[in-house]
Amino acid sequence: MLPFNRNRNQPRTSRSWSLSGMDYADSKRKSNFVGKVLLLAILTALCIIMLKQSPGFSSPSPFSRHEPGMTHVLVTGGAGYIGSHAALRLLKDSYRVTIVDNLSRGNIGAIKVLQEKFPEPGRLQFIYADLGDVKAVHKIFAENAFDAVMHFAAVAYVGESTLDPLRYYHNITSNTLVVLEAMAAHGVKTLIYSSTCATYGEPERMPITEATHQAPINPYGKAKKMAEDIILDFSKNSDMAVMILRYFNVIGSDPEGRLGEAPRPELREHGRISGACFDAAMGIIPGLKVKGTDYKTPDGTCIRDYIDVTDLVDAHVKALVKATPGKVGIYNVGTGKGRSVKEFVEACKKATGVDIKVEYLSRRPGDYAEVYSDPSKILHELNWTAQYTNLQESLQIAWRWQQSHRNGYGPPLAMSS
């Protein structure tokens, strides 16, 4: 208790007599007060330090907010062949990139390469998630401020699609719907969609233009066409900027040798011609089997349009830059030049320096004789044209990566003595 009990209602005069006593009590109270304030300040500082160190408390991630002058692109399937090359190009061009991939077919090694190259905060993040998981996808969109989506993620083998069609409709068509719904719900206004020349089927007339009737003949092409239709129907009443890119046959790899094509070994049987060629050159398979030599083509083998992955990702960046709200752009991405399988095999032999054994067999059901693009629309509207059109050079670049990554993105194989 204080030595006196001051009544605030007492008149001033009646309080003045005990001034010295008041001085003593006041200074004691003052020092008590200062002590309490100091203690409070120390406790508050301690709390802040502890909170800051706790996992739930961190400054907001740069990925979660829009930043003027910075375009944040969600790259689905960015651990895969084309998606990883696209992410590399976007990062080189100063975009902010979030990769979402379930690693079902992609490689964490490709993500590591990108992370090592772009370690700065706010440049690249990887989120392991399945696009079929609706809740997970919405959470990703809620927690990140995307400006655009490049939707690459897909299962993508024609042969496999005929054996397991439901997987293709689910993974391609249904997952595209999930991505589109999440974009609409979270106000993401630009979509660049990976489509394919397989949506055209087997047109009577070559070259294929964007106006060529789409009549896909396998579940892969049909699933992609359905996904395109969903996107087109949605875009009719939306201000979303949409670009649909229909790629022809993709080959090659990063000219600086940082990334390559490394499909899972179990997918080899469904694989693409360049993979088979390199496997044959490395002795992983005994040789190449060319199926069909009696097509109505100059040398009897099938004709395809091979587009280098570096050119392909350039088309994506140009599409992203030119994407316009409320508009849809549909473009073929090819060289416009058809090459026969025989030509491809000869180029591969030269690129690898290996005299690959080639076996000529009868036709494979479902293969079309001739497919090549008319790429004039993309030239006129996006000012894009293929630059890497020398088949042997593209294959040489890819071969260099294959040779230095005999185990794909896995640990280097021990040298045999």
Ligand X SMILES: NC(=O)c1ccc[n+]([C@@H]2O[C@H](COP(=O)([O-])OP(=O)(O)OC[C@H]3O[C@@H](n4cnc5c(N)ncnc54)[C@H](O)[C@@H]3O)[C@@H](O)[C@H]2O)c1
Task: Provide the token pair at 292.
Answer: 């069909």
> How far apart are alpha carbons 274 and 384 in whole angstroms?
24
Q: Tokens 């190009």 — which residue? A: 89
Indicate the DSSP class of residue 60. Answer: P
Specify the residue, 227 or 280, whose C-beta has the smaller distance to ligand X.
227
Task: Measure the CA–CA gap between 313 and 319, rounded to whole angstroms.
Answer: 10
Structure-block tokens of residue 229: 């239709």
Residues annotated as part of the active site: 220
Phi, psi of 325, rounded to the nearest 5 degrees = -55, 135
> How many residues belong to the chain?
417
Nearest to 230 by CA among 185, 181, 164: 181
Dihedral angle computed from the Cα positions of residues 265, 403, 288 and 83, in that order, rounded to the nearest 10 degrees: 60
Q: Which residue bears the tokens 């992410």?
A: 87
SS3 88: helix
> Can you list the positions of beta strands (E) in 281-390?
288-291, 303-304, 306-308, 328-333, 339-340, 358-361
Answer for the pair 212, 297: CB distance below 8 angstroms, yes or no: no
Q: Six-digit token pair at 253?
A: 């790899």
Q: How far is the CB of 77 from ligand X (least distance, A)?
A: 3
For residue 229, report the phi and psi dihedrals to the nearest 5 degrees.
-60, -40
CB of 116 to ligand X, least distance (A): 18
Distance of alpha carbon 279 from alpha carbon 285, whole angstroms: 6
Spatial CA neighbour of 201 closest among 377, 374, 375, 368: 368
List of residues 6+ apart from 191 with CB closer than 8 A? 148, 149, 151, 180, 183, 231, 240, 241, 242, 243
Contact residues toward ligand X (CB under 6 A) are: 77, 79-83, 101-106, 130-132, 152-156, 171, 175, 194, 196, 247, 249-250
Q: Which residue has the tokens 């004709």?
A: 303
For 361, the 3-state DSSP assignment is strand
How many CB atoms are closer than 10 A to CB 207? 19
